[in-house]
Structure 1
Amino acid sequence: MDEPLFRDCAHYWRSPLVPGGDMVTAEYREHEFAPHWHEAYAVPVIEAGAEMFAYQGGHHVAEAGTVPVINPGEVHTGSRAMEVGWRYRVFYIPVDFMAELTGDIAAAPQPMPWFPADVIRDPDLAARVARAHRLLEGLNGSAHGGPFPLHGDPLAAETALIDAMSTLIVRHALRHTDARQPNIDPPRVALMKERLAADLTEPLSLSELAADVGLSAFHAARLFTQATRMPPHAWRNQLRLQRALAPLREGVAVADVAAACGFTDQSHFTRHFRRMFGVPPGRWQAGNGPGR
């Protein structure tokens, strides 16, 4: 008997146990994620099917029972690797959460953890991540008048979360170093990022951006793309999408968010948002708005 095909559907949600983080439970078949990045660590566990993605200069396949971690700020894609598609659960864990946990494990401040590009094939870790995600999802919902529903057990859920993330760090974390990219000029890249982020509604030419760091337009574009794996305009659009999440959660109208974040119109915003998050902004907002 043939396996049923997965649908394109996603449920985004939050938990007070992961301040500033996001979670998603989703399945995809037709949807393909365009190159994008996240400000948080993406920690997925593939439950069924398989996902194919480009990441850190390579192409990878994550099958059921694997944990394909994506580091903050790293550009990646996503699409099905088999006919049925894939189903997964994903934690988007803030950098400060992971940094604090890493320091707690070592009993001393540590550099931010960095995870290898290769898909993590660790069945025990996958089971821990999936269990933590399910327990937190079971707590999701404020319909009972509080941060957790009456049947939830925050103690068990938070314990499972710390267990899963600490296991990930202890077994698989590396030290992040710029030695991976010896030809990159971090100060100039940082200045360009700062200018791109200063006013997302400001029209900005490549020549203006390049002049700010004392380079030609050609060299500025090449440097920035080498450092981020994304040209400046695409990186800026990704930042716009990241900055759109907070006002969407606060219930601001989609059209107003689009304008405030520098998109030319709502349809332009919606197109980019769906390519990154797998759902249009209105649907994302419905699951992440006030009281969620």
Structure 2
Amino acid sequence: MQAVPDTFEHPLDAAEFKRPAHREGVELYRAHIVRHAFEPHTHEAFGLGAIESGVERFRYRGEEHLAPADTLVLMNPDELHTGRAETNAGWRYRMAYLDAPVLEELSGERGWWFAEAVRRDAPRAQRVSRLLRQLWHAHEPLTFDGLLQDLVDELRPAARRAAPARDGALPRFAPVIELLRERLAERLTLEDLAAAAGLSPFHFQRQFKRAHHATPQQMLMALRLFEAKRRLAAGDAPADVAAATGLADQAHLTRAFARRYGVTPARYQQQVGTRPRR
């Protein structure tokens, strides 16, 4: 028996991923969410999308945001975020997740950065929604790539050419993030992480949370689940993925994955067209 079913508890909740077979570094997503609340997670890619109906509430970079219908949602890589409905009818939205090198190739520019997580531009949001729908249904690689170019061109006015100067604490914690990535399957202590930052344990924890808007444990779980998502897309079996990412077992992976991405590992592999390797 699965710990989490392939569908949400609420009959109107639904989420689906899709990856084009010919284009690495691109993932499409569509969902209608009424009751589900997404726990802190990351896609480690640019998240570019639009709200089609309803209102989403999400926490991003330490602030609460409301995204109503016909607004753009623009997220930078490596940023933890949540998500839940603000209205009784939930919210419907579409996203494209583009790895930074892919976005750089498409735009011909380096250093794209979005200062606004929610941008109120109804005509542009409607055009982005239409492009995302067309991308979802595009079967020819040439058609898909042309639409992807149109999407990036449409969002160009919303982007800055260079990321703003980051909080000085963030580079200091880069060795900590790297340690977490390298040792996902291990039971690290606060002292282990503090030593990597050269701080006392609780001083480190306070400073880390202030810089990343998440505790070290929340960051660890987000990194574990992103790595699980990457391994699942590559065809690793869920049981092997759970062991490799430090989760207790396959049931733990199923629960944690569904809370952050809205689908079970098995359903995700089915949606993106991979089968577990034996």
TM > 0.5: yes
Aligned in 2, Cα 1:245/1:57: closer, same or farther, shift over 3 Å? closer
**Offset at 1:17?**
5.7
2:102 corresponds to: 97
Task: Indicate the RMSD between aligned Cα atoms, in angstroms.
Answer: 2.1
User: Where in structure 2 are the equivalents of 1:51-200 lying within 5 Å?
Assistant: 51-102=56-107, 104=108, 110=110, 112-139=111-138, 152-173=139-160, 175-179=162-166, 181=167, 184-200=168-184
TM-score (normalised: structure 2)? 0.87
The answer to whether the 8 A contact 1:116-1:174 is kept is no
- CA 1:83/1:116 → structure 2, altered by over 3 Å: closer, same or farther? same
Give, as a single letter, the amino acid of the residue that structure 2 aligns with 1:215: L
Select which of 256, 274, 277 maps to 1:290.
274
Take 2:178 and 2:236, find their aligned partners in 1: how far apart are those partners?
Answer: 26
Give per-residue Cα distances to partners, 1:232-267, cap 9 Å, x unaligned.
Answer: 121111111111123212333212211111111222
Equivalenced residue count is: 266
Mapping of 1:177-256 within 5 angstroms? Answer: 177-179=164-166, 181=167, 184-256=168-240
CA change 1:285–1:118 in 2 (3 A) is: closer
Deviates more, 1:51-60 or 1:153-162: 153-162
Q: 2:16 aligned with 1:11, yes or no?
A: yes
Greater RCO between the two (CA within 8 Å, min separation 6)? 2
Q: Distance in 1 between matches of 2:229 and 2:59?
A: 25
For 1:245, the aligned partner's letter is K
Identical residues among aligned pairs (%): 38
- Corresponding residue SS for 1:242: helix
Quote the offset at 1:64 in angstroms: 1.5
1:146 alignment counterpart:
none
* 1:7 partner letter: L
* Superposition deviation, residue 94 in structure 1: 0.8
Report the AA paired with residue 173 of structure 1.
R
Q: For structure 2, which runs of at least 5 residues remain unmatched after alignment? A: 1-9
Q: TM-score, normalised by structure 1?
A: 0.83
Query: What CA deviation, in whole Å up to 9, does each residue of 1:168-196 have, x standing for no partner?
Result: 123443531234x3xx3344201111111
Structure with larger Rg? 1
Please state whether the residue corresponding to 1:219 is helix, strand or coil. helix
3-state SS in 1 of match to 2:199: coil
Q: Distance in 2 between matches of 1:52 and 1:247?
A: 29
Q: Deviations over 1:31-60 (max 9, x none)?
A: 011122220111121111221112223222
Structure 1 residues 271 and 6, CA, compared in 2 at 3 Å: closer, same or farther?
A: closer
Corresponding residue of 2:4: none
Q: Which residue of 2 aligns with 1:149?
A: none
Given that 1:53 and 1:79 are in contact with CA atoms closer than 8 Å, whether structure 2 keeps it comes out as yes
